[in-house]
Amino acid sequence: MSDTVIQPRPVGHPLAGERMSGARMIMQVLADEGVTAIFGYSGGAILPTYDAVFLYNEQCVRLGEPQIPLIVPANEQGAGFMAAGYARASGRVGVCLVTSGPGATNTVTPVRDCMADSIPIVVICGQVATAAIGTDAFQEAPVPSMMGAVAKHIFLVTDPAKLEATVRTAFEIARTGRPGPVVVDIPKDVQNWEGVFQGEGLLPIPGYRRRMHELSQAALEAPSAARFFAMLGEAHRPLIYAGGGVINGNAADALTEFANTFSVPVVTTLMGIGALDTTHALSLRMLGMHGAAFANYAVDDCDFLIAVGARFDDRVAGVPAKFARNARHIAHLDVDRAEVNKVKRVHWSHVGLLAGALRALTAHGRQTRFQRDFSPWRAELAELKRVYAMNYDRASPLIQPYYVIEELNRHARGEAIITTGVGQHQMWAAQYCDFTSPRLWLTSGSMGTMGFGLPAAIGAQIAQPGRLVIDIDGDSSIRMNIGELETVTTYDLPLKVVVLNNFGDGMVKQWQKLFFKGRLSASDRSLHKKDFVRAAQADGFRYAVRLARKQDVARVIAEFVAFEGPAFLEVMIDPDAGVYPMVGPGQSYDEMITGEFIPSRHKVDIKPPDPSEMF
């Protein structure tokens, strides 16, 4: 959910009026849109555009201008996640360039992942020649029907005269409103066509642009602000619930200013991590299924919940009727009208650009000299944070994953970009890492796609070459796209890859132990023969180490982080380590399981989720 508005374009393009191929037009529009990297794998139906990329960069070398590097992955899924990592880390539109058929189908998962997490990418697919569409030609796939179900928008370009405007419009749609992935399917003959480059122009999409204009003009008026502050004035325990929309909408500074001005504490979703500095005095970190116990108890205790760029999803509000059960009022600010009252009814709402709305509320409160003493509430929360703090078996002789992440965090200092796969390691990283600003935490939230971490880290490192980038991964998750280890060394990226090895699908095993009487059906990898260190060495990692002794953790992690260039670390962790707290699906926060080392303020009987509930 983004607050990005359409930027004005310069007039009088220097290449306007020049004849060029469709492929060259595609490349020129990418350059005009500020693309600084392309991620993709070649193939027959996209060869003309790949040749245009080559010729564009060759010309840049002659003119002494910056090239647009083409990063080639091991698999098109990797390219899609690299584009997503680039977009998440930079706030710019990521670009993925793939061929027809399997090239396109391999990008379906990252496209859906980006749609679910509101990430702006443009996927350009080659397609068989226009006359061959629908004939089951070699490497043909029905991209519009496949991608149309999972993307924000899909274009099939059959009129070459509209190619230039279509690619430009794809970027407009991807980045505006609630951002998302846009797919442009381009037949090979359209790429080979020659025509006059206009240097400007967009497709006519009046309905969409009208909605975007209304969104940008949706000012938060004084009467509405007054109603909001009337509710805040009645509250004793207000709480901000910030989601990924704050990150995507570039509204973190405005949220921080609002929270500071009125001393309102903040919890964030998994996707909202970094919306407020996690070390800030008002930060209560992450809520939800694996949120901190003190964060979830704060939600139970609050009397005014202020949702900002969040959607009350099932990982947070498993039982909507019991979520924020003591809240007398709920307010909701979002860029997407469809999210308001979708899951939980609210008493006040504003649909519009989040940063502007938050600043308008802050300005109104200052102008009206709004004052409310929430110090007793903050003292209650400080006690919750002390009593129900994150904790684990620190005396165990086995390497605990929490300890490993604490050590990584000590070196990262809240300033590194952290990517993850999906599973236990993902939740441990969310719980134990600090993030002092937005766009440092990159994870697959809504889709929960294993294999996301490594390629996303590559995209992030390309987008932010000066940042320390660490992929905290799991032994099962990294297997999904382990071919991208070679991509790291091919481009000599100083990426740090950590694999927390617990011999299997850790989160699945945790559920099986809790709810399926310990039957580890298809989740145990203890008999597998994979040697991750040798695999990394074979792919060119000069630093590839296995860490198996607890007493070596601090020293090895310090060496690993300090190593110049790509580094790989496999850590043999306690295979029985669990993710706690845990709220089962379809259960409320008073049923939260806190494990052996985090206190609980409720007596909880562990019970399996309802048969209809999802994983």
SS3 571: strand
Looking at the structure, do residues 550 and 468 belong to the same domain, yes or no? yes
Following DSSP, what letter does each residue of 475-502 receive, concatenated?
HHHHHTTTTHHHHHHHTT---EEEEEE-
What's the total number of domains in the chain? 3
CA distance 592 to 590: 6
Residue 591: inside a domain: no
CA distance 572 to 500: 6
Domain stops at, among 160, 185, 208: 208
Looking at the structure, do residues 226 and 301 belong to the same domain, yes or no? yes
Closest CA to 325 of 300, 351, 347: 300
Could you tell me whether strands 266-268 and 304-308 are parallel, antiparallel, or unpaired per DSSP bridges?
Answer: unpaired
Looking at the structure, do residues 377 and 429 belong to the same domain, yes or no? no
Looking at the structure, do residues 171 and 238 belong to the same domain, yes or no? no
Looking at the structure, do residues 228 and 268 belong to the same domain, yes or no? yes
Q: Are 118 and 245 in contact (CB under 8 A)?
A: yes
Looking at the structure, do residues 33 and 110 belong to the same domain, yes or no? yes
Looking at the structure, do residues 40 and 187 belong to the same domain, yes or no? yes
Here the CATH number for the domain that contains residue 57 is 3.40.50.970
Domain stops at, among 539, 554, 572: 572
Residue 143: inside a domain: yes
Tokens of 142: 């029905």
Domain that holds residue 318: 218-387
Q: Which residues contact 51 (CB under 8 A, 6 or more apart)?
A: 23
pLDDT digits (tens, 9 = 90+) for 546-571: 999 999 999 999 999 999 999 999 99
pLDDT digits (tens, 9 = 90+) for 292-318: 999 999 999 999 999 999 999 999 999
Residue 264: inside a domain: yes
Element (H, E) at 198: none
Output the CA torsion sign for 541, 542, 545, 551.
negative
Looking at the structure, do residues 148 and 75 belong to the same domain, yes or no? yes
Tokens of 8: 């004005």
Between the alpha carbon of residue 130 and those of residues 107, 326, 470, the distances in Å are: 21, 60, 44
Looking at the structure, do residues 553 and 432 belong to the same domain, yes or no? yes
Looking at the structure, do residues 537 and 506 belong to the same domain, yes or no? yes
Residue 213: inside a domain: no
Here the CATH number for the domain that contains residue 292 is 3.40.50.1220
Q: Are 265 and 259 in contact (CB under 8 A)?
A: yes
Following DSSP, what letter does each residue of 298-366 receive, concatenated?
HHHH-SEEEEES----TTT-SSGGGTTTT-SEEEEEES-GGGTTSSS--SEEEES-HHHHHHHHHHHHH
Low-confidence ranges of the chain (pLDDT < 70): 1-11, 611-615
Looking at the structure, do residues 328 and 357 belong to the same domain, yes or no? yes
Active site positions, annotated = 76, 138-139, 188, 507
pLDDT digits (tens, 9 = 90+) for 170-182: 999 999 999 999 9
Residue 10: inside a domain: no
Residue 559: inside a domain: yes
Residue 153: inside a domain: yes
Tokens of 158: 């059959």
Looking at the structure, do residues 265 and 366 belong to the same domain, yes or no? yes
Between the alpha carbon of residue 372 and those of residues 231, 294, 500, the distances in Å are: 11, 23, 46
Residue 46: inside a domain: yes
- Quote the pLDDT of residue 442: 98
Closest CA to 266 of 279, 323, 312: 279
Classify burial at 87, counting beta carbons within 10 Å of its beta carbon; exposed 0-12, middle 13-18, buried 19 or more.
buried
Domain stops at, among 324, 356, 387: 387
Between the alpha carbon of residue 389 and those of residues 265, 324, 379, 435, the distances in Å are: 17, 20, 15, 18
- Quote the pLDDT of residue 586: 87
